[in-house]
A and B are shown apart, each in its own frame.
Chain A
Amino acid sequence: MSAFVILSLFALLSFAIEPLNRLKLFAVIGLMVALFLSYQGCAVILSGFDATPQVSFFEMIVFIVMIAVVLHEQEGINITQLLFIGAASTLLLQSQTLLSFILSFEALSILSMILVAFIQTKEEADGAIKLFIAGAIATALIFMGAGLYALDGHSLLQGIEMPHTPLGHIGLWLIVLALFYKLTIVPMHSWAIDSYANLSPTHTAILSAITKSVAAIALFGIYQDYLVEAGIINLYALIVFALITMTLGNFLALFTQRLTQILAYSSIAQAGYLLLALVAAQSQHASSGILYMAVAYIFMQSSLFLMVGVLGKKPTHLTLKDIQGLHHQDKLTALLMTLQLFSLAGIPLLAGFLGKAVLFYAVVDAGFYIVAFIALLNSALSVGYYAWIIKEIYFEKQTHPMELSITQTSRVAQLILLLGTLYFGIFAYTVFAYA
């Protein structure tokens, strides 16, 4: 029995369950059972899948965040979708061979397309179509890459081997580029700005926080050995991608007024940081670095998108002006938002700081001082817009009150996510024990 089986089962059964509260309870139970199974280290009993302690740990984190999303969610269909995505995430995280990796990645990709297919507004259609096209291109690239790699004379039923000819290298890189679509690495990021900004914030929380960090961890797991052996030129290419991604994301966020768009750019910048783990693949701290960063990222990013979702009638239209003086209206929401934003900015005693610190140290450890320095400067630059949002919340007067639709369960959801951000900001040994 594994988390995958349980979640698939619960997801299928959940179609029959009504009303919403019962469905929520049912989904939470399913996720709890999955959490317990991951804690026991259970893996999918299929060849090509295995659960290392790192993977099991990250599955647990994903399930905790999913519990929070379920508690927060008001649409039954999204909860069912979420359970399916949870199941696919376990598959992707546990995949050990290239074939299982590609197939589970496709499963996750298709599930995210279905997730956004319940379109209610024109804008959501815009976001959904862009996501679909990006996903389709990624699929094309991934199969082309796998084909070239196979042509080079390797079996897809194993982990990655050193290619014999450039053809194999090109194949492997095509797969990486396909994943860059999911990770929103520049220049494969452009779909994400509109998708993240226009889709319903719950969907974005799932897409930008959960599937992205799962994809990052899986990519690192399967490519680490290859990157250590494949030569420095690959690392230089990754460095270029990572630095451009984080710098562009941070700069564009500075000049944006729409809240969801700022978060979208911030999410792109964070992807740039995550990519640094691949750059530092040869460092012994790289795996703890990406694990820590992903854990921190999944909590803070999902929390913020969910929180934006309950502000105002049209959360995707919110600008910085709309949240001015929010703390006069709702102290707790203001404080929660501030803490999560500070975590993204890398302010200490919050998970975001340690995530970045361990990850950037891995880059220093791998010998790339300048890269680490640019990443640190980027992180400092990002404070510019995070602190600016906080400035709007606290330093400005409220001109007109917002309509908040905060339910008790969404408060609980936010507290769970905050606990994650705080816990991993202080008790680092938990992550290091599994890395």
Chain B
Amino acid sequence: MIWLIFLPLLIAPLLYLIFGKTPMVKYFTLGYFVFLLLESFALLGTTPPSGYLELGSFLSVEAFDFVLDLRIDYLSAIMLILTSALLVLVTLSSWSQMSASYFALLLFFSGPIFGVFATTNLLWFFIFWELTLVPMYFLVGIWGGERRIYAAVKFFLYTHVASMLILLAFFILYKESGYFDITMIKESMIGSASLVWWLLFIGFAVKMPIFPFHTWLPDAHVQAPAPISVLLAGVLLKMGAYAMIRFAILLLPHQAQNFAIVMVVLGVITLVYAGFMALYETHLKKMIAYSSISHMGLVLIAIATLSFDGLGAALYEMIAHAFIISPLFLIAGILHHKTGSWQMHDMGGLMQKAPYLSAVFVIAGLGALGMPFTMGFIGEFTILISAIKSFGYPLALIALGSIIAASYMIWSYRRVIYGELSALVAQSDFRLGGVEFGALVIFALVIVILGIFPHLIFESINTAFAQFVGGAL
């Protein structure tokens, strides 16, 4: 495991220094990510149903409890699979990209992101958490759209400031418990646990992102190249949600109980506000970005239920969101690349020009609005039920989120996919490389297959939170 984290960090700079533009690096990166995916499945297979799979301790500094403890439980293993699957798909989607540096940065990203999910030491967690920013900064800043520099710097600064709250919270935890390791902190009394909870909550809410800390995301998403938007939405946002579950909920359950209402309220506001923003947007990619934020609101509501059902639903929705939003971003990127416009009213009639591309867009859109037989339905339905169970019928309100989603999605179908063939679409050539299209098809298949057979992943998800119901907190 330690090599999965540090080897990419070593290799990536070398790839950058040695290679200029060559397809070799791309094949290497793809091969490595496929290996990561297999390795992640193998890890899930060996993880015990309760407790951690111990993967060793490294670089121990006892005077500061600064030890790289690598431990994996079901929750981490599922996140690792999701991450490596998305990395494979992102590489496939970037197939027309030739620059070795681009793939070197993707490779670099895979190291710390594995570290984030695999360590239980808070300081090391923070190190990996911060380190994921670096490749993202370059990927957005170098290969982004016209306002890429503004977006990259804003993204970097905004999330970095939020991280400082997290670091302060970790310091206070260490001061009061004497440990940086969460398995040890759990057994200690924390005097200022409420302060710590708030610091952690705000820190992670920025990453998720939750209203009112979401403003970095539309900029970053719109300016990032489409495959990197996938990485942002599918991996970086999930990292925030994972950390929220792991640290704000499982580590400090009593504080989470006390402030559950805050989470629900913010979750609902995020859901509805971002939904309306998506409805208002005419910029295709911004609409998808707001749709993404809106869904993360749902995830927060599910987390706030603090129940076995709710956490499972949250994890399912996280996976669903990754697979649903990603093809939407990719297609938006392709449309902009081919037509040169982001505006939905410039498009129209795409179905006539590019039926397969449109079909994937429609399937993913149906997932986003929660249509049965897609992953979106299972995610939203389980969240709705667990929310009503925990907070009563007023929370049936969140079904409103689906209605808003249906509004903006179906309206965007009208404007982009169907409707009259616009001049811009008519003169553009939408032929795609086989590999890129293959990636889109995989996304669509996953949305449908896991929507029809949710038990394929729900068993693992339930195992991840089995201890939660057992009161082993």
Q: Residue B127 contacts which of A353, A376, A377, A435 (CB distance < 8 angstroms)?
A: A353
The interface residues of chain A lying within 8 Å CB-to-CB of B134 are: 342, 347
Q: List 28 A-B contacts (CB under 8 A).
A: A285-B64, A288-B63, A332-B17, A335-B17, A348-B127, A348-B128, A353-B127, A357-B123, A361-B174, A364-B168, A364-B175, A365-B175, A369-B172, A373-B164, A373-B168, A377-B161, A377-B164, A380-B160, A387-B137, A387-B156, A395-B142, A426-B59, A428-B59, A428-B61, A428-B66, A432-B61, A432-B63, A432-B64
Q: Residue A372 contacts which of B59, B123, B149, B171 (CB distance < 8 angstroms)?
A: B171
Top 10 A-B pairs, shortest CB-CB distance = A348-B127, A376-B164, A364-B171, A380-B161, A395-B141, A429-B61, A428-B61, A432-B63, A348-B130, A380-B164
Which residues of A338-390 are within 8 A (CB) of B?
342, 347-349, 353, 357-358, 360-361, 364-365, 369, 372-373, 376-377, 379-381, 383-384, 387-388
Cβ of B399 within 8 Å of any chain A Cβ, yes or no, is no
The interface residues of chain A lying within 8 Å CB-to-CB of B127 are: 348-349, 353
Q: How far is the CA of A432 from the CA of B67 in the complex (A)?
A: 13
Cβ of B126 within 8 Å of any chain A Cβ, yes or no, is yes
Closest B residue to A435 using CB positions: B63
Cβ of A236 within 8 Å of any chain B Cβ, yes or no, is no
In the bound complex, do residue A349 and residue B131 qualify as a contact, i.e. CB atoms below 8 Å apart? yes
Which residues of B91-141 are within 8 A (CB) of A?
123, 126-128, 130-131, 133-134, 137-138, 141
Q: How far is the CA of A426 from the CA of B59 in the complex (A)?
A: 8
The interface residues of chain A lying within 8 Å CB-to-CB of B171 are: 360-361, 364, 372
Give the total of A residues in contact with B, Cβ under 8 Å: 37
Cβ of A314 within 8 Å of any chain B Cβ, yes or no, is no
The interface residues of chain B lying within 8 Å CB-to-CB of A380 are: 157, 160-161, 163-164
Closest B residue to A427 using CB positions: B59
List A residues at the B interface (Cβ < 8 Å).
Answer: 285, 288, 331-332, 335, 342, 347-349, 353, 357-358, 360-361, 364-365, 369, 372-373, 376-377, 379-381, 383-384, 387-388, 391, 394-395, 426-429, 432, 435
The interface residues of chain A lying within 8 Å CB-to-CB of B167 are: 357, 360, 376
The interface residues of chain B lying within 8 Å CB-to-CB of A361 are: 64, 171, 174-175
Which residues of B49-71 are within 8 A (CB) of A?
59-61, 63-64, 66
Cβ of B9 within 8 Å of any chain A Cβ, yes or no, is yes
Expressed in whole angstroms, the minimum distance between the Cβ of A305 and any Cβ of chain B is 23
Q: Residue B160 contacts which of A372, A383, A395, A428 (CB distance < 8 angstroms)?
A: A383
Q: How far is the CA of A353 from the CA of B127 in the complex (A)?
A: 9
In the bound complex, do residue A387 and residue B130 qualify as a contact, i.e. CB atoms below 8 Å apart? no
Cβ of B16 within 8 Å of any chain A Cβ, yes or no, is yes
Q: How far is the CA of A427 from the CA of B148 in the complex (A)?
A: 35
Q: How far is the CA of A380 from the CA of B148 in the complex (A)?
A: 20
Identify 14 new A-B residue pairs, CB closer than 8 A, beyond the known A381-B161, A384-B153, A428-B64: A288-B64, A335-B16, A348-B128, A353-B130, A357-B167, A358-B64, A361-B64, A373-B168, A391-B141, A391-B152, A391-B153, A394-B141, A395-B149, A395-B152
The interface residues of chain B lying within 8 Å CB-to-CB of A376 are: 164, 167-168
Expressed in whole angstroms, the minimum distance between the Cβ of A381 and any Cβ of chain B is 8
Q: Give the bracket for the number of chain B residues in contact with chain A.
A: 35 or more
The interface residues of chain B lying within 8 Å CB-to-CB of A379 are: 164
- Binding site secondary structure of chain A: helix
Closest B residue to A377 using CB positions: B164
The interface residues of chain B lying within 8 Å CB-to-CB of A427 are: 59
In the bound complex, do residue A387 and residue B153 qualify as a contact, i.e. CB atoms below 8 Å apart? yes
The interface residues of chain B lying within 8 Å CB-to-CB of A381 are: 161
Closest B residue to A370 using CB positions: B168
The interface residues of chain B lying within 8 Å CB-to-CB of A349 are: 9, 127, 131
Q: How far is the CA of A28 from the CA of B197 in the complex (A)?
A: 53
Expressed in whole angstroms, the minimum distance between the Cβ of A172 and any Cβ of chain B is 30
The interface residues of chain A lying within 8 Å CB-to-CB of B175 are: 361, 364-365
In the bound complex, do residue B164 and residue A331 qualify as a contact, i.e. CB atoms below 8 Å apart? no
In the bound complex, do residue B156 and residue A383 qualify as a contact, i.e. CB atoms below 8 Å apart? yes
The interface residues of chain B lying within 8 Å CB-to-CB of A429 are: 59-61
The interface residues of chain A lying within 8 Å CB-to-CB of B212 are: none
Which residues of B1-57 are within 8 A (CB) of A?
9, 13, 16-17
Expressed in whole angstroms, the minimum distance between the Cβ of B356 and any Cβ of chain A is 35
The interface residues of chain A lying within 8 Å CB-to-CB of B13 are: 335
Q: How far is the CA of A412 from the CA of B167 in the complex (A)?
A: 35
Most buried by A among B16, B133, B167, B175: B167
Q: How far is the CA of A331 from the CA of B171 in the complex (A)?
A: 37
Q: How far is the CA of A288 from the CA of B16 in the complex (A)?
A: 35
Q: How far is the CA of A414 from the CA of B134 in the complex (A)?
A: 22
The interface residues of chain B lying within 8 Å CB-to-CB of A285 are: 64
Which residues of B167-190 are within 8 A (CB) of A?
167-168, 171-172, 174-175
Q: How far is the CA of A331 from the CA of B164 in the complex (A)?
A: 31
In the bound complex, do residue A331 and residue B63 qualify as a contact, i.e. CB atoms below 8 Å apart? no
Closest A residue to B156 using CB positions: A387
The interface residues of chain A lying within 8 Å CB-to-CB of B172 are: 364, 369
Q: How far is the CA of A387 from the CA of B141 in the complex (A)?
A: 11
In the bound complex, do residue A372 and residue B131 qualify as a contact, i.e. CB atoms below 8 Å apart? no
Closest B residue to A353 using CB positions: B127
Q: How far is the CA of A342 from the CA of B137 in the complex (A)?
A: 12
Q: How far is the CA of A357 from the CA of B160 in the complex (A)?
A: 14
The interface residues of chain B lying within 8 Å CB-to-CB of A428 are: 59, 61, 64, 66
In the bound complex, do residue B174 and residue A383 qualify as a contact, i.e. CB atoms below 8 Å apart? no
Q: How far is the CA of A428 from the CA of B127 in the complex (A)?
A: 13
Q: How far is the CA of A332 from the CA of B13 in the complex (A)?
A: 10
Q: How far is the CA of A372 from the CA of B175 in the complex (A)?
A: 13
Closest A residue to B13 using CB positions: A335
Expressed in whole angstroms, the minimum distance between the Cβ of B74 and any Cβ of chain A is 27
Expressed in whole angstroms, the minimum distance between the Cβ of B102 and any Cβ of chain A is 12
Q: How far is the CA of A331 from the CA of B100 in the complex (A)?
A: 13
Q: How far is the CA of A434 from the CA of B240 in the complex (A)?
A: 37
Q: How far is the CA of A432 from the CA of B66 in the complex (A)?
A: 11
Closest A residue to B134 using CB positions: A347
Known: A331-B17, A335-B17. A395 touches B148 (CB 8 A): yes
Most buried by B among A335, A361, A429: A361
Closest B residue to A292 using CB positions: B64
Q: How far is the CA of A358 from the CA of B128 in the complex (A)?
A: 17
